[in-house]
Chains A and B, each alone.
Chain A
């Protein structure tokens, strides 16, 4: 007699695991990482190494304290801590070697407090890398805002950034001296390790879109809205649009941090509202404070995600769309009116 095996769903499993997606993200970060190390040399590599090691060690030590067997720790390790460490380090300025404790402590804070305290991968409320950066920014303001160094390649247009960064100049009302091409390639641009070369970030972006890890619209909305609102706030000068979006960490944050699955709404409409609001907040905060505010805006928006998920619900399958409902109502009203006359 033939035996029939009864099993629960799911019956078909895909190969798309958290590990696979995180590996894709790591591959997408590699161009920005390489660009950062080429531009800023040993300092960049040093910072990245410390951040990644501190993130991974924090996770392992936490799990050891929780008495998870060592075998399980390595079997279940899903690369999220490596991604956090990389994203965190690339969003820091190329800090001097004596500030080794900044990536170290931010890594511990990012993974230990933001992720593990809330229950591990997928349960964090806010993005660990963004929060780690904000922690570093609040805690070590002096080191974080004076760590800018000139990259290895000078600008093609032959100009030099006069102030701290291009963005701080621009927000203070000075027209950027560097050409858009310089800003795009990152030559002569002072800034954080990963955000300098937009080309490298765009390569990562294309890889993520091709691998279907993110949709192409997501970062585009954030960057576009920020640029538009920023231009409107700065006297409607549309020649400032490109410098406005190409300077600072906007593209970096929009591609790698705003698209984090865990901390953005799951349904499409809520997600688009999330990105539009994020763009508006980035531009407003940039105008208000005169410094780069992408990380703060992402952190703020992460906290609003539960509200968005609660109030913007997807339409259940088979229900009548709201627009159709309104139309029918009006049609009925029209008929009634006609009869009465």
Chain B
């Protein structure tokens, strides 16, 4: 496996193509489930697990699945893993299962998983696909957890279920607050990202200038 490609996959999943903040995919669970940090982590990890498994299977079968029926085939594979995760959660973490409600089966039609299957797993070998699933899923988890922490601290005065103080601004746990927080987070993430990106670009430009000794 090529180290540079792995680094690219990791950076893509976590930052450059962060599914929540850069691609704005999977917004439904993002808005509905980030009322508490624990829900965010639970949802993120469930999606990560399903993403890795489905990416691996789809990547294995990428030469077998005819391209005309690839979407139903992908959905079938994803649905298999979603059902497994649902059963496991229902058995071992019933409280999380309750709080995720309808959004757990809805992972089947989550754009992130379908998107990665379509744009990455169906074109790349198994190893890379598994890594891509891992890092995209972690990017999603980290986004959901941060939003969850922000909304839980301000909206319910607690953190990961532990009570902090009595002061609550219930706006942040309402759905209007979800859209507001999401917008603010996208703006902040992209603002910071663009700043760092342009700095790195400038740095590379200077290096190239020093190497070649001429203006690009």
Residue ranges of A at the interface with B (Cβ–Cβ < 8 Å): 101, 105, 113, 135, 138-141
* Extra 14 A-B pairs, beta carbons < 8 Å, given A139-B169, A140-B170: A101-B167, A105-B169, A113-B180, A135-B171, A138-B170, A138-B171, A138-B174, A138-B176, A139-B168, A139-B170, A139-B171, A139-B172, A140-B169, A141-B170
A143 to chain B, nearest CB (A): 11
Q: Tell me which of B171, B172, B176 has the highest count of chain A C-beta atoms within 10 A of its own C-beta.
A: B171
Residue ranges of B at the interface with A (Cβ–Cβ < 8 Å): 167-172, 174, 176, 180
Please, which residues of chain B bring their CB within 8 A of the CB of A140? 169-170
Majority-rule SS of B interface residues = helix
B197 to chain A, nearest CB (A): 22
Please, which residues of chain A bring their CB within 8 A of the CB of B174? 138
A147 to chain B, nearest CB (A): 16
Please, which residues of chain A bring their CB within 8 A of the CB of B180? 113
Please, which residues of chain B bring their CB within 8 A of the CB of A138? 170-171, 174, 176
Q: Tell me which of B167, B169, B170 has the highest count of chain A C-beta atoms within 10 A of its own C-beta.
A: B169
- The CA of A135 and the CA of B171, in the complex, are separated in Å by 7
B180 to chain A, nearest CB (A): 7
A314 to chain B, nearest CB (A): 34
B82 to chain A, nearest CB (A): 34
Q: Tell me which of A135, A139, A140 has the highest count of chain B C-beta atoms within 10 A of its own C-beta.
A: A139
- The CA of A101 and the CA of B169, in the complex, are separated in Å by 10
A117 to chain B, nearest CB (A): 9
Please, which residues of chain B bring their CB within 8 A of the CB of A113? 180
Closest to B172 in A: A139
A164 to chain B, nearest CB (A): 19
Please, which residues of chain B bring their CB within 8 A of the CB of A139? 168-172
Please, which residues of chain A bring their CB within 8 A of the CB of B171? 135, 138-139
A284 to chain B, nearest CB (A): 20
Please, which residues of chain A bring their CB within 8 A of the CB of B170? 138-141
Closest to B154 in A: A139
Closest to A109 in B: B171
- The CA of A101 and the CA of B170, in the complex, are separated in Å by 14
Please, which residues of chain A bring their CB within 8 A of the CB of B168? 139
- The CA of A140 and the CA of B169, in the complex, are separated in Å by 7
Please, which residues of chain B bring their CB within 8 A of the CB of A101? 167
- The CA of A141 and the CA of B180, in the complex, are separated in Å by 19
5 A-B residue pairs with CB within 8 Å: A105-B169, A135-B171, A139-B170, A139-B171, A140-B170
- The CA of A105 and the CA of B169, in the complex, are separated in Å by 9
- The CA of A164 and the CA of B130, in the complex, are separated in Å by 61
A301 to chain B, nearest CB (A): 17
- The CA of A286 and the CA of B169, in the complex, are separated in Å by 25
B179 to chain A, nearest CB (A): 12
